[in-house]
Amino acid sequence: MVKVFPADVLGPEYLRAVHAPLPQIPLVPTGGVTAKIAREFILAGAAMVCAGGWLVDKQAVANKHYEVLTERARQLVDAVSKAREEMASEL
């Protein structure tokens, strides 16, 4: 797998442009990935996405509001799952 960083700066269109001629290389966007943009990266050809800072919110951890992390993880999994379902239905 090849890390594509910083994903939020490069964007899904960049990933799509790289993936098009090199579909055999699994691309993994990281850096600024949120549930909102994860769908777009998956649809652009990402093998998976990596989320760090957005997923593990420092303020929520400091305040022991772990439910924020759980909810963000759920949102991320839902976004990726829906994107994969969308891709499967197009086949």
* Cβ–Cβ under 8 Å, residues 40 and 12: yes
What tokens were used for 42?
């998956």
pTM as predicted: 0.92
Over residues 2-49, the pLDDT tens digits come to 999 999 999 999 999 999 999 999 999 999 999 999 999 999 999 999
pLDDT > 90? residue 90: no
Quick one: how far is CA 10 from the chain centroid? 13
pLDDT at 91: 78
Cross-strand bridge partners of residue 3 = 28
Q: Sketch out the chain's domains with CATH numbers.
A: 2-90 (3.20.20.70)
pLDDT band at 67 (very low <50, low <70, confident <90, very high): very high
